[in-house]
Structure formats: C-alpha cells, structure tokens
C-alpha cells in the first residue's frame, strides 16, 4: 500500500501496558501511517507518559515519529488526577526500570499538534484516544473548526449498557476527565466510541501469552516482559486468566472498522455494539 493511501493516525496515549501493545500494533499495520503520538495522564502522569511514548518508539526503532506532550491537568484545571499505577506498575510499563529515552518531545503541545495536523490534512486524520480526553477537548476549545477538520475520533472509553471499571457507572478514561468527554462527545465530529462492553470480550489468555513468549520477535519479547503485572492485576481484580485488550481493540477499530459492528449514540456518535 502506497504511503498516500494509508490512513493517517495520531495516537493520544497514556502508556500504559495495553497502550504499548496498541502502539506496536499501529506501527506494524501497513494500512495506517502513525503521524504522531500525543501524551496524556491516566495510567501514569503526563511527564511519564511522554517518557514512555519516546521509549516505546525507540524500542520499535521508530524515533522518526514525533511525540507532543499533552495536558498535565484536567480541562477544568483539576490537579487531583486518578492515576492507574495499580494496573500498570509505578513506571506504567510493568516496573521494568527501563533506561530513559534518548529522544525528546517536540516543542508544540499535544492540542497544537492535533490542530496543526487536522488543518494540514483536512478530513484525513484519525485520532485514536486511549486516555482521558483533555487534549482533544483543548483542541476543540482552541480551534472551533477542529471537529470539521478532523477525519474521525476513535475513543477507547465508556461503558455502554454495562457497569464501569472505576465505579458502577464510570469507565476509567471518561472518569479521568468527564468535562473533556462532554466537550468531545458533543462537538459534532465523526466519533466512534469503543467501550469496555466490547473490550471486556477481547481477552489475551494465558495460552495466548505462551504463544507470544515463543515468538522471536523483539516486540513480542518486550511485551512478554511488561505484561506480568497486567496479568496479576486481572487475576486479582477480575478473577480471569488473561488480560483485557482495551487499547489494541480501539486501535484495530481505526485500522479496520469492518471488524466490528456499530450502533448509533445519543449525539450522533457511534459506539461498538
């Protein structure tokens, strides 16, 4: 597939073990071109999310992909953030103490980068949002034309007709910045939400892990190293022998929408059925 035909993707991410999986899937999907990563708090604080994004690109030998650092606070400037280090480890990547990355984030903020790319390629850029929606909401606030210029926003978030994973109502990414979620879901852009009603059906089992461990691929070996803590969390929190593939599922919805079926949401956005 020629470069021009490949769907342009920006991943807004809070790496995060399942974020690492999604980023590796994206970098290895010939259907898409990853034109940048933007970072956000969620699984870790934003500073660490940026460090991990740069580190993951170095592991994948793709330091050519720019990283733009996102917001350190919620859209309402809230600083009391819910950080899911109990799911991903205090370093966000399974407590592996990886060395600091060599590269640096670009000077632009995540919101500015999102606006710039949407303006440069109107209707052609898909944002895959894997954390709280602060950066996307800031892009909408700073450029009212952003919803028209962005091709699609694929959101890993929400719990449609099922309980949340933070409390009976809320899923972690929406809970992380509900005001930002409100701005994004009602902005009029083409929005596709992949909720935990779907991602809880997409499980990497212990047997799948064994298969992955047998692969000689460098990225498979890397993922096996960081996945231990994610498996332990799922065993304790959900009593399952496997892990939920939240972020990779959302990424795949962007790469190949025909893998899933959709239903219409209240403000015209779609979510996976």
Ligand X SMILES: O=c1[nH]cnc2c1ncn2[C@@H]1O[C@H](CO)[C@@H](O)[C@H]1O
Residues identified as active-site: 14, 246
By rule CB under 6 A, what string of x and - marks binding of each residue 207-226 to ligand X? --------------------
Residue 172 binding ligand X, by CB under 6 A: yes
- Decide: helix, strand or coil at residue 128: strand
Residue 272 binding ligand X, by CB under 6 A: no
Considering only residues 81 through 100, tell me which ones interact with ligand X, judged by CB under 6 A: 84, 87
Instruction: Give the relative orientation of helices 134-142 and 110-120 as an angle to the nearest 10 degrees.
Output: 60
End-to-end alpha-carbon separation of the chain, Å?
A: 30
Among 166, 203, 224, 240, binds ligand X (CB under 6 A): 166
Complex with ligand X: residue 82 or 104, whichever CB lies closer: 82
Among 246, 249, 251, 254, binds ligand X (CB under 6 A): 246
Among 8, 15, 18, 219, binds ligand X (CB under 6 A): 18
CA-CA distance, 124 to 217, in Å (whole number)?
32
Considering only residues 38 through 67, tell me which ones interact with ligand X, judged by CB under 6 A: 43
Stretch that binds ligand X, among 32-40, 104-112, 168-176, 185-193 (CB under 6 A): 168-176
The CA–CA distances, whole Å, from 101 to 18, 25, 57, 58, 220 equal 19, 20, 9, 7, 20
Q: Which has the closest alpha carbon to 40: 14, 20, 19?
A: 14
Positive or negative, the CA dihedral 175, 136, 57, 126 is: positive
Q: What is the DSSP secondary-structure string of 134-168?
A: HHHHHHHHH-TTHHHH-SEEEEE---SSS--SSSS
Complex with ligand X: residue 106 or 203, whichever CB lies closer: 203
Residue 171 binding ligand X, by CB under 6 A: yes
Residue 247 binding ligand X, by CB under 6 A: yes
Residue 177 binding ligand X, by CB under 6 A: no
Contact 137, 232 (CB under 8 A): no
Chain residues binding ligand X by CB under 6 A are 16, 18, 43, 84, 87, 165-166, 171-173, 196, 246-247
């Amino acid at each position: 597939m020629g470069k021009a035909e490949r769907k342009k993707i920006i991943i807004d991410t809070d790496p995060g073990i399942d974020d690492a999986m999604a980023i590796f899937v994206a970098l290895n999907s010939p259907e898409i071109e990853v034109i940048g990563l933007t970072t956000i708090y969620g699984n870790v604080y934003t500073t660490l999310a940026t460090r991990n994004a740069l580190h993951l690109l170095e592991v994948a030998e793709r330091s050519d992909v720019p990283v733009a650092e996102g917001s350190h606070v919620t859209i309402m400037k809230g600083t009391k953030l819910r950080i899911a280090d109990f799911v991903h480890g205090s370093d966000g990547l399974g407590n592996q103490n990886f060395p600091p990355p060599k590269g640096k984030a670009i000077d632009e903020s995540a919101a500015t980068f999102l606006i710039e790319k949407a303006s440069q390629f109107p209707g052609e850029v898909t944002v895959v949002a894997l954390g709280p929606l602060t950066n996307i909401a800031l892009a909408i606030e700073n450029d009212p034309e952003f919803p028209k210029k962005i091709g699609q926003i694929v959101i890993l978030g929400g719990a449609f007709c099922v309980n949340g994973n933070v409390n009976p109502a809320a899923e972690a990414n929406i809970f992380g910045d509900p005001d930002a979620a409100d701005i994004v879901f009602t902005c009029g852009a083409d929005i596709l939400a992949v909720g935990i009603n779907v991602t809880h059906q997409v499980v990497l089992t212990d047997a799948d892990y064994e298969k992955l461990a047998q692969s000689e691929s460098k990225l498979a070996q890397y993922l096996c190293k960081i996945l231990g803590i994610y498996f332990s969390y799922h065993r304790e929190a959900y009593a399952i022998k496997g892990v939920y593939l939240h972020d990779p599922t959302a990424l795949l919805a962007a790469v190949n929408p025909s893998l899933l079926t959709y239903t219409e949401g209240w403000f015209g956005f779609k979510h996976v059925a």
